[in-house]
Amino acid sequence: MAGSKTYYLTTPIYYVNDAPHIGHAYTTLACDVLARFHRLDGKEVFFLTGTDEHGQKVEKAAVEAGVDPQAFTDRVSVNFRDLATAMAFSNDDFIRTTEDRHTRSAQAIWKALADNGEIYLGSYAGWYAVRDEAFYTDSELETRADGTKVAKTSGATVEWVEEPSYFFRLSEWQDRLLDFYDKNPDFIRPESRRNEVVSFVRSGLKDLSVSRTTFEWGIPVPGDEAHIMYVWLDALTNYITAVGYPETDSELFRRCWPADLHMVGKDILRFHAVYWPAFLMAAGLEPPKRVFAHGWWTNEGQKISKSLGNVIEPNALIERYGLDPVRYFLLREVPFGNDGDFSHRAMVGRLNGDLANDLGNLCQRVLSMISRNCGGSLPDPTTRQTEADVELITGADALLPRLREELDVQAFHTALAAIWAVIGEANRYIDSQAPWALRKTDPERMGAVLYALAETIRKIAILLQIFMPGSAAAILEQLSVPTAARTLSDLDVPLRPGVSMPKPQPVFPRYVEEEEEP
Ligand code: MSP
């Protein structure tokens, strides 16, 4: 595949001051599913995640923890690596902004911007929210009853900042950005978010402060070490650092850049869809192909926040419901792009309904009938295949093109709904064909029915590997599908009659409510 484009996708890099929570897990999970899909499809994939370790917010957290910022970030960054393992994320790299490769890259983009006349020295006097690491204008703020000023969008408290600062000539990029959005209508997804960004840019852009002098935890501005780079310029640059910037002629950079997808939450879309393409174009680099902004989770109807004490920890969810049910729930429950609510009730509904009943029972019924009635080897359907069998299998064959379409627009929920429609068909088919009743009267026909079902389950399980890698592997194992025969191109290679199958084990146990403590 020499010279072909690698599918390059990224998650935001996470602030290390927070423990990993459901929001972090969600963004990376969505990327993981896409990465797995493209790999199974035979593409080269580069999937990046990591941690954002500079800035005032992280410095503050380190001071509060009583450790120096480097030791602090070394310690907490590990939590995000551990999250990747716990969630079975298949990232190819994990970047930390405190790494040397990143300092070099961030200073190089700064130099490119400065050399191109895009940066000038001035002074900043205005509002800054440490929690968002963002500058706000008066019109973006509101005053609370107690007199504190907060950002309207995030509710973060702002403080007045006055200091010398370098500025990026963002105001001069307005037309070129609008032109770029116009020529690349899919650059920002979903559509509603695109409209928000376009109208924000249309309303006029001000030059952006890109350096700070009143604290030290950051990357020094080349040639003027009294300044450190604004943490968002530093952080966004991670996406090019990881593919080799400033070596733009390197094999990795050429194969990966521009990135195919930056997946982000709606709160950080402006940084990715306005500032980032402007920085890149100003530095002479191509902007990414797409930025997708997903929605936010609430917990049982309430905003998730540390102060409310209702933060959902991924590890606690995994322990309670199992990893694959959690992965399934997060992408099935809410149309991707919308906000969603996590509730125990909805989680158990999906686990017991979609997973244990619909898919789990289907597998268990079919596999145990093969085990009990066919001597544990797959029956030969050839002599007794009917149109109904072919129809069932054809329905499963239609899934791949459908998934391609849905995943191309990051519509995970509809991709899963399409798979479940076929699972529903298979369950109706098993009921209408009643293979158990054929055991004595027409064993050959029973064999053909079980074959059609096993083949349908195989196709479903191959596709489900991207969402639920562990459970899908367990199903494929029980169907004796070799590991080397589980890619998307193997969808068309049918199961071989006569192959022996192990004794089936249930894949999705039902969730049983624990007894109330006395
Ligand atoms: N460090 C920046 C990103 C820099 S990227 C160059 C940052 N980090 S963060 O840790 O605060 O947030 C990371 C991601 O988590 C964001 O995409 C954000 O939308 C997401 N989430 C945080 N809370 C969330 C929910 N409650 N629900 C869904 N996602 C949320 O921003």
Taking the whole predicted model, whether its pTM rises above 0.75 is answered as yes
Residue extents of the structural domains in the chain? 344-492
pLDDT in tens, 286-303: 999 999 999 999 999 888
Quick one: pLDDT band at residue 151, thresholds 50, 70, 90? very high
CA of 383 to the centre of ligand 1 (A): 57
pLDDT of residue 3: 55
Asked if residue 153 has pLDDT above 60, the reply is yes
- The H or E element spanning position 120 is strand 119-129
**Distance of CA 282 to CAs 258, 316, 480, Å?**
15, 44, 54
- Name the average pLDDT for the chain: 96
How far is 42 from 53, CA to CA, in rounded Å?
Answer: 34
Q: Which residues of 82-91 are buried (b: 16+ CB within 10 A; e: fewer)?
A: ebbebbbbbb
Decide: 312 in ligand 1 pocket, CB within 6 A.
Answer: no
CA of 15 to the centre of ligand 1 (A): 8
Q: Whose CA is nearest to atom 7 of ligand 1?
A: 14
The architecture of the domain spanning 344-492 is Orthogonal Bundle (1.10)
95 within 8 A of 241, measured Cβ to Cβ: yes
Asked if residue 265 has pLDDT above 70, the reply is yes
Asked if residue 250 has pLDDT above 90, the reply is yes
How far is 189 from 194, CA to CA, in rounded Å?
Answer: 6
Q: What are the phi and psi torsion angles at 10 (to 5°)?
A: -135, 155
Alpha helices in 376-468 (DSSP H): 387-397, 399-408, 412-433, 435-441, 443-464
CA of 24 to the centre of ligand 1 (A): 6
Q: Whose CA is nearest to atom 6 of ligand 1?
A: 236
pLDDT in tens, 375-429: 999 999 988 999 999 999 999 999 999 999 999 999 999 999 999 999 999 999 9
Share of the chain above pLDDT 90, in %: 94
Q: Whose CA is nearest to atom 19 of ligand 1?
A: 265
Ligand 1: which atom is nearest the Cα of residue 304?
A: 26
pLDDT of residue 1: 43
How far is 433 from 42, CA to CA, in rounded Å?
Answer: 37
Quick one: pLDDT band at residue 2, thresholds 50, 70, 90? very low
pLDDT in tens, 175-211: 999 999 999 999 999 999 999 999 999 999 999 999 9
**Distance of CA 501 to CAs 12, 234, 497, Å?**
43, 54, 11
Q: Tell which one of 9, 10, 14 to mutate to probe ligand 1, the residue whose CB is within 8 A of the most ligand atoms.
A: 14
- 3-state helix, strand, coil split of the chain in percent (to 5) is 50, 15, 30
Please give the average per-residue pLDDT across 325-341, as a whole number: 97
Bridge partners, 157 (sequence order): 150
Decide: 358 in ligand 1 pocket, CB within 6 A.
Answer: no
